[in-house]
Structure 1
Amino acid sequence: MASEKLYMENIDACYLRDFTAEVTAVDDNSVTLNRTLFYPLGGGQNWDTGSITWDGGNLEVSEVRGRGDIQHFVGEDHGLTIGEKVEGSIDWARRHAHMRMHTAQHLVSGLVYEMYDGARTVGNQIHTNRSRIDFNPIRFTEEIIEELFHKANEIIESNLEVTDSIMTRDEINAIMPPDRTNMDLLPISVKKLRVVKIGDNLDLCPCAGTHVRA
């Protein structure tokens, strides 16, 4: 059974910092839990770090990977066994930085599409102190960057609510063009997705990442 991703329950769950879980699998340098708040590498967003504590000790989580079963890398000779009850705690400063960066990426991607002839996001990398967004087709000038900078900050200052929900493919496509949300790149077999919305559909995009409330 796949690890339950607690951070995906809703936007508020992204703000949780501690949780309890049970070890479901172990290997030389990692453990898998039945439920977790740790975000794994994926969707352009870097992994969470933090710690796992149990009766036998405390371990630092240095890396998190996986789609179904989420592996928490804790180093060799960790001493954890299947069935062990543990408490997890994420590095909040790192998580919150990723949340802010990821929501900002959604905002900027939506603005670039709307303001510059449908230029779409073709890649991104979310880190704590820097991020990168790849667009095509567009060639940025200083004038464009300044215009985009001011528009993004204007929207940020308006403190729009950020929400998430589960929507069908058809519902998403009825609100946003498929090339804006990259729905046209997803397998047709994918029928329902978690979407993140900024304001009154200022931006709406399928996403499994962590985000701020506003």
Structure 2
Amino acid sequence: MSVAATPPSHPVFHTSLRGHVRRAVGRDHNPLCRPLDRVYSGLITGVALMLLVASVLAVVAAVLVYGAQTRDATQLARHRHVVTAVTTGPAQLVDPGAGRVREHAPARWTYPVGPGSGFVPVPDGTSVGTAVPVGLSDAGRPVGAPRPTGLIVSDAVLTGLGTVAALGFVTEGWFVLCRRRLDRRAERSWEAAWEQVEPGWSGRR
């Protein structure tokens, strides 16, 4: 009567990361360690390195976004001049279909390059003839306020998290694919070895 056998669990998954590194570089001299175990350790070491690289890239991406947006905000603030404008018409919604719910009103202002007019953002319910502050560029055209530091930090953090998530997803997919292939190799190797050992072990001829 033949005896069914199942392949042993891979000891590679019960080893610390340091042990995986030692095994992957051939410094683990355990006689029970198979070549396939070293390949598994190399795979896990590679995953750890990829996650480390992903973390570094996430920090770099966050710093780059923060730096770029900070420079843009500083540049805008340097060339933005706040003057007092007077509304010449009632406040109204501008392009509400696009989600812009802040009211704007027609207004006139005086600036060194000459008088100007246009639609400027105003508080809700602003009446005609109200004095409101408006930011102008060097050329006298209305410009928005520089991006707040809080939003810049939020963008940088989200960029870093997005980078980690994307690279982590790729790393996980690569690990799962490689592990399945190695599992199939382990099964074939175990079945071949069992075919040679089982007859003598079970007494079957």
TM-score normalized by the length of structure 2 = 0.24
In terms of Rg, which structure is larger? 2
Using CA pairs below 8 Å that are at least 6 residues apart, which structure has the higher relative contact order?
2
From the two aligned structures, give the one with the greater strand fraction. 1
